[in-house]
Amino acid sequence: MQNHMTKHLAVALATAVAFAAPAARAQSAEKPIQIGLIAPTSGIYARPGTVMKMGAELAIKDVNDAGGISCLGGAPLELVTIDSGDTVEKATNAAQRMVAEYPELVGGTGAYLSSFTLAVSEVTERANLPLLTLSYSDQITGRGFKNIFQTSATAGVQAQLALPIILDLAEQQSGKRPKTVAIITDNTAASLSSVERMKAGLLADVGLEVVLEQVFTPPLADATSLVQQVRQKRPDLLFFLPTVISDSKLILEKKKEFRLDVPVISFGIAIAEPEVLNTMQADMLEGVMSAVANWGAKGQEDLIKRLKDVYGEPWMTQNAISTYGDIWLFKAALEKSCSRDRAALGDALRSLDAGPAKYYPGGTLSFDDKGRREGASLTVIQWQNGVPVTVFPEDLALAKPVWPGK
């Protein structure tokens, strides 16, 4: 009798284990895969960082709604947001906390300003944590790091691409090719990198002479002196490279006050953030162009509408669309690696060949040996009727360009 009961007990236990094992495996497989977003959500750069979070959240939802990471049993992605703060020191400390407090992170995206990204990537490289970034500085992927991946064109490449486009547009629409330029730039890494590349030969190649260069530390207290000097030089173009909205406001207000009639070409998005309209009138911005790494464009209308419906954002800046794309890029690499291991994910990103880029301008979803996305291009946006819209390249344009002052 005892042997009979023992036999039944053994069968029952075996049956329970047989059912429990798949359940345990399923539960393990469905454990969320953590992706970090390290971006400024406090301080003077809080707004762009918050928009980056919006893009990441939309993408996380879309990936999970589409079945998660199929290779890992449909495991969902989970976003972990870390505030980088608004200084390099704060960004470094935030990165150190991120790798210490979230050991299960498989990858990260961020960190907005190139100077922040340079500091953060020093930490993530030591932690063998793959980091995607839209930051521009050529230095980011010029240090021989294995785990930093630049989805945007570098600042130097953007300048090289943008200058002929801008000058050709000026000549086509105004009948006159600009010959002189004044440059006003802040001293952040991406801005200085762009200017350095221009002065190293790009401006000479397109026939532009620099008649004035002014470098300032953000945020500006007063733009009077900067604009007065531009007015004295009377350049054909003003290249303007700010990273803080308040700086854009001060300089454009002074430009209007001094009746300085010179086309403004910016590099970066500070001139086109929605908050700009909270601080100045739309007519002050009309016609201003900017070369940016990414922007909401043709083919993304539904996504732009969702951003507006869910978060109230009037248009999709590069911070939202690039970070949205980064999450899908991680999805592709996770499917390729079929692993939660950081090193495996890094290897997958380095060897990824996922075809044409869908959420970034130009190129493919693959990286060169430096970690730069292959064939990455840019977009040119222009303020038209109170909205900054994509006007280049033609296949992504939502409006036709109009030369300022024409």
Span 273-326, pLDDT tens digits: 898 898 888 988 999 999 999 999 999 999 999 999 999 999 999 999 999 999
The domain ranges of the chain are 31-153+298-375, 156-292+380-392
CATH classification number, 31-153+298-375, choose in 3.20.20.70, 3.40.50.150, 3.40.50.11540, 3.40.50.2300? 3.40.50.2300
Q: Map residue 266 onto helix, strand or coil.
A: strand
Determine what percent of the chain is predicted with pLDDT higher than 90. Answer: 78
pLDDT at 9 over 50: no
Domain pair 31-153+298-375 / 156-292+380-392, same fold: yes
Q: What span, in angstroms and rounded, lies between the C-alpha atoms of 64 and 70?
A: 10
User: Confidence band (pLDDT; 50, 70, 90) for 15?
Assistant: very low
Highest mean pLDDT among 171-175, 234-238, 399-403: 234-238
**Residue 23 — very low, low, confident or very high, per pLDDT cuts 50/70/90?**
very low
Per-residue pLDDT tens digits for 319-346? 999 999 999 999 999 999 999 999 999 9
Range 156-292+380-392 classified under CATH 3.40.50.2300: yes
